[in-house]
Amino acid sequence: MPSSPAAAARQILVRLQEVMAARTSAQAKLNKVVEIIGESLSSEVCSIYLVREGVLELFATRGLKQEAVHVTRMAMGEGLVGLIATNVEVMNLDEAAAHPDFSYRPETGEELFHSFAGVPIVRRERAIGVLCVQHADPRKYEEVEIEALQTVAMVLSELIAHAELADDGPADSRVADTSTTMLHGLQLVMGMARGHAVFHQPRIHVEHTVAEDTEAERARVISAFAKMREQIDRMTGAAEFGTEGEHQEVLETYKMFAYDEGWIRRINEAIDSGLTAEAAIEHVQQRTRMRMRQIDDALLQDRMHDLEDMANRLLRIVSGQLGTAATMGLRQDAILIARNLGPAELLEYDRRRLRGVILEEGSLTAHVTIVARAMGVPVLGRVRDVRHQLNEGDLILMDVAENTLLIRPSADMDEAFESKLHVTQKRRAEFAAMRDLPSVTTDGQRVELMVNAGLREDAQALDIVGADGIGLFRTEFQFLVSATLPQREKQQRLYKDVLDAAGDRPVIFRTVDIGGDKALPYMTRDGDEELEDNPAMGWRALRLALDRDALMKVQARALLEGSAGKVLNIMFPMVSEPWEYEQARALVEHQREWLQSQKKKLPIAVKYGAMLEVPALAEVLDILLPRVDFLSIGTNDLTQFLFAADRAHPKLAERYDWLSIAILRFLDRVVKACVAHQVPVGVCGEMGGRTLEAMALIGLGIRRLSITPASVGPVKAMIRAIDAQQLQDMMREWLDGGVTDIRTPLTQWAVERNIELS
């Protein structure tokens, strides 16, 4: 076997070209293909399974019993072959029978073989078959062999599609159903939108895979890279954001892919193996997709989306199919439909016509989400299979706050949506009118309304909505959108800019909450890169920061210098025991002492706080509270830890109830402890941004809420309409009286007093 993947694949492709050119049946060609691959990889078995009528059928084999051909069948997801096809993933096992999904088929005679490797045969982003090899001796196949199998599988997909041997739906099939459909997803950027469906781009289908002249193909790729870099430079330069800020950092990080030498090298190696320029780009991207599916890391997935965007752009250039919905122009109010988007792709669209974006993938930390938020474009993500649920031009009603997507709504639905949109706009005007009014209850009790933020531009929301300050500034956002660890000077400039924008209003900086599901590719544990089974409860937040104290020292110094001449409010996330808080506080104090010795300008005061997210901390508040200046309750993580219910799990949504008697009694106990120690306590999290839940918190005695800017108006209107003391008396009666459902009496209490709930 040749030492390089390119040489190995090329050796096989040279022989396959002769087979494909022969005037024989498709079955005869596949029979010959398995012989060639088996010989080249020194494998006793090589088999091809194809998807026919939704079932995987053994179509050709060398090494298994010939009588099993066209007889052995497996459902999608059944056995190792079914698993490869369903997950569109590579499998490489030294002992196949030991795998929990192994399915023994006696008619094949495969009990003689131990090792197993298989790759999907992919067409139009889905598996139409599986190519696998087996060997009598237990061994894992080498990387060079797997790479060769994947290259061959790409060529086979062309042969199989042309011979119409496998299921392969029409490229431009239309949805026949014209009824109204409601879908749900993940709330990425809040807002409402009405528009007609526009598909972001037609998928480029690679039809010709085997190159006739590799140097000519290489020249095409070099030319395409030059054009793509020119496009990216032009787009990032023309972005409507200033030269500072996370949006610009996002685009610069995205731009790095266009100049990534490793990516270019892998494409050239694929061309060396005998693939066309288009096939080489697609081959490298398929391999990247398969690897990324095996990594449960949200940030790396986001980076993969940027690379996917870049690969699609390169494919369009090299194939000459340059048209996208953006370049063709939007003719009417549009809602963009895509599997995913890169940030630069979104910037190409006419903002006057683009009303919303719907993604099959997407996440809160994805680059496109950050850019969309800056553009003010609502985004709903993780809408499964949306591209196959609608047709181009279908009317869509999108309400991200309600997590709903109505496709082809009835006239009544459309009218109701328009009314709600009008009411929403009217209420926004009303909220804007009360922007400068204090959030004081009818009985004169003041409730601080602060906002959650994470970007430099978020500080502008203070003036727009009339908030009292920033109750939670997520400092990790700067780390998440950067390709490398942000330098101290860059961190310091961000903190100073945020404080300057806030003026005399307080800003509470939370130290980095990274790790777990917010892992950084440039920061892993030394010698330990295994995936965590429970990332939310793993090596993250303060645990990570104390382990990597150099990271925290740099951030502490940046915070201290960035807040020179002002009050610095610093808060530590995910504190589970008092010693963690003490260690973190001592670290910051040590940096303050060092800066003082260097005659550096310092804050006029430093106030220290802790986040209560881990229930264990509630048991030691008598030890912790005398040492803190304030406490913030992070209701998002706290609730999922209390109920052992993943807040992202759709089947557990009903269990994640902020008005459960259990969570309210827990919060009541925390508030009482804080009052006894005269320590201010607030809530930062989604719970405080919902009017009914915010009412419950005020009824527990909480007088500081940190919420999204969009929630400030509705919550302030509610606060100015309630009698806080009367509400506290009712909450005490309900909590002490054993009421199991507080939502009902609380709602009734609000309705009787004409308090608007949203």
pLDDT tens digit sequence for 386-397? 877 888 889 999
Res 243 pLDDT > 50: no
Res 342 pLDDT > 80: no
Res 417 pLDDT > 80: yes
Are the beta carbons of 393 and 194 closer than 8 angstroms? Answer: no
Strand-pair category, 115-123 with 91-93: antiparallel
Confidence at 718, pLDDT banded by 50, 70, 90: very high
Mean pLDDT of the residues in the chain: 82
Res 245 pLDDT > 70: no
Question: How large is the average pLDDT for residues 485-509?
Answer: 91
Q: How do residues 723-757 score in pLDDT, each as one tens digit?
A: 999 999 999 999 988 888 899 999 999 999 989 88
Per-residue tokens: 313: 């752009």
Apex CA 444: angle with CA 439 and CA 448, to 5°? Answer: 30
**For the chain, first and last CA: distance in Å?**
66
Write down the pLDDT at residue 687: 87
Confidence at 241, pLDDT banded by 50, 70, 90: very low
Strand order, beta sheet including 45-52? 73-75, 55-62, 45-52, 126-135, 115-123, 91-93
| Alpha carbons 308 and 304: distance in angstroms, whole number | 6
Write down the pLDDT at residue 670: 96
Residue 234 CB neighbour total at 10 angstroms: 10
| Alpha carbons 154 and 144: distance in angstroms, whole number | 16
Write down the pLDDT at residue 533: 56
Helices (H) and strands (E) in the chain, counts: 26, 22
Confidence at 303, pLDDT banded by 50, 70, 90: low
Burial call 141-171: b when 16+ CB within 10 Å, e when fewer:
bbebbbbbbbbbbbbbbbbbbeeebbeeeee
Are the beta carbons of 367 and 253 closer than 8 angstroms? Answer: yes
Instruction: Give the sign of the dihedral formed by CA 19, CA 23, CA 26, CA 31.
Output: negative
Are the beta carbons of 105 and 81 closer than 8 angstroms? Answer: no
| Alpha carbons 363 and 164: distance in angstroms, whole number | 37
Q: How do residues 64-107 score in pLDDT, each as one tens digit?
A: 999 999 999 999 889 999 999 988 888 899 898 888 888 888 88
Are the beta carbons of 257 and 309 closer than 8 angstroms? Answer: no
Q: How do residues 534-546 score in pLDDT, each as one tens digit?
A: 555 665 667 777 7
Residue 86 CB neighbour total at 10 angstroms: 16
Residue 52 CB neighbour total at 10 angstroms: 16
The residue that leads in pLDDT, 364 or 574, is 574
The residue that leads in pLDDT, 619 or 22, is 619
- The DSSP output letter for 518 is B
| Alpha carbons 520 and 523: distance in angstroms, whole number | 5
How is 66-77 classified by DSSP, letter by letter?
A: GGGTTT-EEETT
| Alpha carbons 692 and 634: distance in angstroms, whole number | 18
Share of the chain above pLDDT 90, in %: 34
Which of 200-209, 235-244, 546-555, 674-683 ranks highest by mean pLDDT? 674-683
Instruction: Give the sign of the dihedral formed by CA 348, CA 351, CA 353, CA 358.
Output: positive
Q: Which long-range contacts (CB under 8 A, 24 or more apart) does 263-272 make?
A: 263/307, 264/221, 264/225, 267/221, 268/218, 268/221, 269/4, 269/5, 269/6, 270/6, 270/151, 271/211, 271/214, 271/217, 271/218, 271/221, 272/6, 272/7, 272/10, 272/214
Sequence letter at residue 509? F
Res 672 pLDDT > 90: yes
| Alpha carbons 203 and 422: distance in angstroms, whole number | 37
**Nearest-CA neighbor of 68 among 48, 51, 82?**
48
Confidence at 203, pLDDT banded by 50, 70, 90: low
Locus of tokens 């781009």:
201
Q: How do residues 572-623 score in pLDDT, each as one tens digit?
A: 998 999 999 999 999 999 999 999 999 999 999 999 999 999 999 999 999 9
Question: How large is the average pLDDT for residues 303-314?
Answer: 69
Q: How do residues 49-62 score in pLDDT, each as one tens digit?
A: 999 888 999 999 99
Write down the pLDDT at residue 170: 44
Burial of 564 (0-12, 13-18, 19+ CB in 10 A): middle
Per-residue tokens: 156: 């086979």
User: Phi, psi at residue 208, to the nearest 5°?
Assistant: -115, 120
- The DSSP output letter for 244 is S
Are the beta carbons of 152 and 206 closer than 8 angstroms? Answer: no
Q: What is the pTM of this model?
A: 0.58
Write down the pLDDT at residue 440: 96
The residue that leads in pLDDT, 291 or 662, is 662
Confidence at 172, pLDDT banded by 50, 70, 90: very low
Write down the pLDDT at residue 242: 44
Sequence letter at residue 391? N
Strand order, beta sheet including 334-338? 181-183, 404-407, 395-399, 192-199, 334-338, 354-359, 379-381, 186-189
Confidence at 277, pLDDT banded by 50, 70, 90: confident
Question: How large is the average pLDDT for residues 150-156?
Answer: 82
Sequence letter at residue 464? I
